[in-house]
Amino acid sequence: MDIFEKCFSYKDYKEVLAAGLYPYFHALETGQDTEVVIEGVKTVMVGSNNYLGLTSDPRVKKAAIEAVEKFGSGCSGSRFLNGTLTLHLELEKKLAEFVNKEAALTFSTGFQTNLGIITAIAGRNDYILCDSENHASIVDACRLSFAKTLKFEHNNMEDLERLLKKINDSSGKIIIVDGIFSMEGDIADLPSIVSLAKKYGARVMVDDAHSFGVLGEHGRGTAEHFGLEDDVDIIMSTFSKSLASLGGFVAGDQDVIDYIKHNSRPFIFSASIPPSNAAAAIAALDVIKAEPERIQKLRDISKYMRQSFRDMGIPIYEANSDITPIVPVMTYENEPTLVVTKMLREEGVYVNPVISPAVKPGQCRIRTSYTATHTKDQLDYALQAFGKVFSRLKG
């Protein structure tokens, strides 16, 4: 059998394309901002992870440009060999200080960060306890590690404890959760997780990709939000969201970071992030520290959009917090999700469709997400568009 047969017979996307409902790979003709131009049309962006609005901040852009002028466009090697710049060391020092950990290490992408941490830390005699709604990068990292992975029901602490009880005391254990879950907008029940970890001798890792710059008084993430910074062993996050760049980092005890640095294949065998990415992340971090009001503005916007959808009778996924900037609008089935996405784009609003198998059948949704620099006019425009589209569907 030809190994390419699966490619030749793959028709799902072609059928959606032929129906005029294909929602992916629409090219932006402008920078990532609260308004963008897509295929010549000015569009309100409510589908971005640019949570603090820093991708278009002049200070961040200037830092990236100056880094290219000083260091060039790339590093031409891995961090392990010739690819370490003073910029990388500066960024790692600042990140560790910001999240109150001894050390930090940067990776080339957020996805790679989880691969690099988990495959280095979790070995043959270890167990990973993984929330069922964790990000795909965690799922794949667990598969690639030699550890035994046990999934517990989403944010279900009774199920987590049931699994912990089964593990022999002689085995290593680590509980891994998203801080904010990217498809629901839920916050992990970190207080209960920490309590169970202490009870059963497990370590805790939090993926703060969607929590960094979002949760906590200073934007340090889920641990700060709950006052548990000393109780979380590993903090991971990306640069592609609040830090307006590309890459990721892990922070923890010095010994843990040193071990990952010398044993993580995704770290050792990948080229380091370019100078512009490192410099942009440093500049964005400086803005977050200097302007914490952005975090509160984002929370106010998130609350406003959730309540507005409720008031309009538009069904949303009711997360366990109103302050997270991910607000899923429920469309339940695949085809209505694609239809709504197209109709909203025709109204000048960009959103992200989430269909099966990315979510369970009957749980399809429009994932909306918000930025601290959205204006009320832009938000109200998006709400009006949703109102028009859902009225047409009902009619």
pLDDT, tens digit (0-9, with 9 covering 90-100), for 199-240: 999 999 999 999 999 999 999 999 999 999 999 999 999 999
Q: Count H helices, E strands: the chain?
A: 15, 13
Taking phi over 0 as left and psi of -120 to 50 as alpha, with beta for the rest, 44 belongs to beta
Helix, strand, or coil (residue 345): helix
| DSSP state for residue 49 in the 8-state scheme | -
Residue 113 to residue 106: CA distance in whole angstroms: 8
Confidence of residue 284 (pLDDT cuts 50, 70, 90): very high
Taking phi over 0 as left and psi of -120 to 50 as alpha, with beta for the rest, 231 belongs to alpha
pLDDT at 15: 87
pLDDT digits (tens, 9 = 90+) for 160-186: 999 999 999 999 999 999 999 999 999
Residue 332 to residue 355: CA distance in whole angstroms: 8
Residue 263 to residue 257: CA distance in whole angstroms: 10
Confidence of residue 372 (pLDDT cuts 50, 70, 90): very high
Confidence of residue 263 (pLDDT cuts 50, 70, 90): very high
- Domains of the chain plus CATH, in order, are 5-51+292-394 (3.90.1150.10), 58-290 (3.40.640.10)
Residue 62 to residue 276: CA distance in whole angstroms: 10
Residue 189 to residue 185: CA distance in whole angstroms: 13
CB burial of residue 215 (10 Å; 0-12, 13-18, 19+): buried
Amino acid 187 reads I
Amino acid 332 reads Y
CB 365 within 8 A of CB 354: yes
Residue 108 to residue 273: CA distance in whole angstroms: 5
pLDDT at 12: 83
pLDDT at 395: 66
pLDDT digits (tens, 9 = 90+) for 3-47: 999 999 998 888 889 889 999 999 999 999 999 999 999 999 999
Amino acid 19 reads A
- Reported in sequence order, the residue ranges of 184-310 that DSSP labels E, i.e. its strands, are 203-207, 234-238, 248-252
pLDDT digits (tens, 9 = 90+) for 126-148: 999 999 999 999 999 999 999 99
CB 249 within 8 A of CB 107: yes
Spell out the residues 6+ positions from residue 156 whose beta carbon is closer than 8 angstroms to its own: none
Alpha carbon separation from 220 to 182, 227, 262 (Å, rounded): 17, 11, 26
For the chain, what is the mean pLDDT? Answer: 97
pLDDT at 8: 92
pLDDT digits (tens, 9 = 90+) for 85-140: 999 999 999 999 999 999 999 999 999 999 999 999 999 999 999 999 999 999 99
pLDDT > 70 fraction of the chain, expressed in percent and rounded: 100
Q: For the residues 269-296, what does the mean pLDDT come to? A: 98
* Helices 275-290, 86-98: crossing angle, 10 deg rounding: 30
Q: Does an H or E element contain 239, and which?
A: none
CB 105 within 8 A of CB 257: yes
pTM of the complete model: 0.96
Helix, strand, or coil (residue 44): strand
Burial of 290-325, coded b for 16+ CB within 10 Å and e otherwise, reads: eeeebbebbbebbebbbebbeeeebebbebeeebbb
Q: For the residues 311-331, what does the mean pLDDT come to? A: 97
